[in-house]
A and B are shown apart, each in its own frame.
Chain A
Amino acid sequence: MQPATHPAANPFIDAQRFERRAPPCTVVIFGANGDLTKRKLMPALYRLAYERRIPPNFAVLGNSRTQMDDETFRAKMCEDVKKFLEDSPFDQQLWDNFARGLYYLAGDLADHGFYQQMSAKLDHIAQAHQTGGNALFYLSIQPSYYQTVIEGLGSANLQQADKAWRRVIIEKPFGHDRDSARQLDAAIHKVFPEKRVYRIDHYLGKETVQNILAFRFGNGIFEPLWNRRYISAVQITGAESIGVEGRGSYYQEAGALRDMIQNHLLQVMATIGMEPPPAFEADTVRDERAKFLRSLRILKPEQVPLFAVAGQYGQAKLGAEEVPGFRQEPGVGTDSQTDTYAAVTFYVDNWRWARVPFYIRTGKRMPKRITDIAIQFSSAPHSVFSQSDDGSGRPNLLIIRIQPDEGISLRFQSKYPGSGMHLRPVSMDFNYGSSFGARTPSAYETLLLDAMVDDATLYTRQDMVDASWAAVQPILDDWGNRKFDFPNYAAGSWGPKESEQMLARQGHVWRVP
């Protein structure tokens, strides 16, 4: 007779008090010698161990081409974690314990024999650490290798195991355009079913992006206003003050539209615009996001110049510093046509958002680093105050700040003290850091743990990715066939004048974040 087992739900979980914890498993990192591993993944795993969210039966298997043994890998990871760990102390004793579960296997990703070695090593780790054979494969490698690795895993039958789970995490970009994204999906699905594919978009793991859902669906007062009757426009800004920082050759192939809008900012926009899900569960939330993204109006070729603006920064003097233009960056061609700035007006063809423009902009070498969302409400329909500066024409704004200074502000009109009725805009602020002094987990901590516990709520699904590509593809096609007169904005500015003109045609202006 089989011994009784606990039902799927752990009877000892106290959801009111306990943080999520990882089940026994091995995390296999392809690209373990790379930047993402040292800056984000390993510090996130260490931090999870620090918070005792990782069980004793846990291991990491790193891979790259570089030859090194387990001990060298452990020492390297130790140095990287010490260097890149944020908001946390480093505890050597804890690290030593954690590091006993770190392993390394060098290998050529194109060699199917390598995956047989990996299979044997995973078996060994499963025995030594009692992981039960559970494994999470993390593809932190160049996108051109995604298909190779997926096929390799399939060749050694690593995508499945008896009485154990196997999942794969894939970093963006998910394809270079819609066709290549579909080809990639087809290749992945030959090996892993969609349910076990986790496409990571770290923006969705940010606490403040998750807080948008809490703000919208945990409060009764905003949802009745959250539609075309009361909202006149939405502006989403994802600005970076830095340039391409040595990633010129990569960025030249990507550009701002692909690098930010197609994924991060459209996901943020979907979080703002989606319908309320019936429950906070992976499929219901993702169904609503996908529905929203499928509602995005697809631009006709002749509409693209009116609703999308490309920009590229030129050299400028910022303070005392001479800043190179994009074309002067290492690895970038002197006649590069790559967009380092992109602004798009999206429309959403559904009842809630009909005729409400969603303005999205992103750029490098902007005046400051900021990501925020401004919900612009309709102005008061009639001015009852006689003074010309009564301010009633100024719209109420709800600002959701994703980074930095995470929080929410509501701008409204107030009477200026004194005789007469003069109005002034004032801001009512909620600051995440002030109201909750607790440390917020990094996006990678959240997302890695979610994948380990099989919660895909904050991961993007194939249909979401496809709908995002569908929305930007006409713009990519148009821009690919045009010759821009770049550079068209100075480093340290808020972008090209054509972007202002795009909003002016709709009677709007970009806010200064």
Chain B
Amino acid sequence: MAAAASVHPDAILRDLRKLWTDLGKENPETGVLRACAMTFIVVAAEEDDPQAFGETVAELTHENPSRVILLRICCAGNKRLESRVYAQCWKPFGSRQQICSEIIEISASPEHFADVPQIILGLTVPDLPIVLWSRKPDVNVDGLIPMADKVIVDSTGIPDPGQGLGYVKQLLAGGTNVGDLAWTRMSPWRQSVAQVFEDAGRPALEKVRITYYRQSPSVSGRYLAAWFRQAVPGVSVSLEPAPGTKRRSIFLEAAGLRASVEVEGSMAFLTVNGLTRESAVPDRDVAALLREELAILGQDATFRKVLQLAE
């Protein structure tokens, strides 16, 4: 379902209209359902695996039907700028009708990268949110950020955690509504901690120990420490190395309470005063992380506070 297109918004939109007409003709009995709830701009680096990337986008469009604008950085030195449009369709179980999202793929060599924001500006869906997901922090997306209602990055793409944290802080300081997948990865941990304190009679948290097994605490670990500090001001929080183990742990202490949240491999262990419940850790691939971020298009108040405290 591809169609060639010249790289001008009007031409691309014309090709989109033709795409939908053709899709309707291919399915004369049921037609197809064109679903769109936002514009989702995805920036892919040259080294990203196109197939894996396509699968992630396809998975996301099931729950977040969108006009996807897939910007591929490619072919340095080749002075290339081209586009194509196609549809991503799926059929819900038991349904005869296909539901389709539209994808506009723009391939641009670095020489043309500065031209791209102007093109994309003409391609966004009116009156619906615009979300930008930039896979690689080293790709300059400054021209796209102002048009986005939310920018999703992954600071773990920067090898030095300190620099990674700085990058996200800088985006926030510039007024960007930013989401960081390094923070999103912490949600299951945070939920488990919240569960320990679900009982209103639980004592106030006094001490937290977070272990890590790499050389220095990751951005995610730093976020977690900051989260404890903003939730319980005055709590003692330490980040400690735990060499020789693959188990990541959070130990919680309060009067009459010893609890821990631990993950090793695909298993999680939540222990409250000696009573342990094991559970499988859901496989949170990048699509799952993005799904969580796409569910929050407004300001994430907790993350903003955490980002300010993280160090």
A residues within 8 Å of B by Cβ? 3-6, 8, 10-14, 16-19, 21-24, 52, 55-57, 91, 93-94, 97, 129-130, 132, 163, 431, 433-438
Contact = CB atoms under 8 A, between A and B. Distances in A.
Interface stretch (B110-118, B127-135, B185-193): B185-193
A134 B297 CA distance: 37
7 contacts: A6-B197, A6-B203, A16-B296, A17-B187, A57-B272, A97-B278, A130-B275
Contact of B256 (A3, A8, A14, A91): A3
A21 B191 contact: yes
A130 B272 contact: yes
Interface in B216-261: 231-232, 254-256
B13 interface: no
A11 B234 CA distance: 13
Contact of A21 (B194, B254, B271, B278): B194
Interface residues of B, number: 47
Given A6-B204, A12-B194, A435-B37, A56 B275 contact: yes
Given A6-B197, A18-B191, 7 more contacts: A6-B205, A14-B194, A17-B292, A17-B295, A17-B302, A52-B279, A56-B277
B301 interface: yes
Given A132-B199, A437-B62, A437-B63, A14 B302 contact: yes
Given A4-B203, A437-B62, A431 B33 contact: yes
B232 A11 contact: yes
Contacts of B270: 55-56
B175 interface: no
Contacts of B300: 16
A4 B194 contact: no
B134 to A, nearest CB: 21
Nearest to B194: A12
Contact of B33 (A17, A129, A434): A434
B278 A13 contact: no
B35 interface: yes
Nearest to B270: A56
Contact of A12 (B231, B275, B278): B231
A329 B58 CA distance: 50
A24 B204 contact: no
Contact of B277 (A10, A19, A22, A55): A55
Nearest to A439: B63
A310 to B, nearest CB: 35
Given A4-B203, A52-B191, A434 B275 contact: no
B27 to A, nearest CB: 15
Contacts of B199: 23-24, 132
Contacts of B99: 434
A193 B194 CA distance: 30
Nearest to A165: B200
Contacts of B195: 21, 52, 55
Given A17-B296, A434-B33, A132 B201 contact: yes
A17 B99 CA distance: 27
B100 to A, nearest CB: 10
B276 interface: yes
A10 B194 contact: yes
B24 to A, nearest CB: 15
Nearest to B183: A17
Nearest to A51: B282
B280 interface: yes
B121 to A, nearest CB: 26
A20 to B, nearest CB: 10
B25 interface: no
A2 to B, nearest CB: 9
Contacts of B187: 14, 17-18
Given A52-B279, A435-B35, A12 B190 contact: yes
B14 interface: no
A435 B65 contact: yes
Contact of A55 (B198, B296, B302): B198
B280 A94 contact: yes
Given A130-B273, A434-B35, A3 B254 contact: yes
B276 A56 contact: yes
B132 to A, nearest CB: 20
A8 B201 CA distance: 8
B214 interface: no
A39 B302 CA distance: 39
B79 interface: no
Nearest to A55: B195
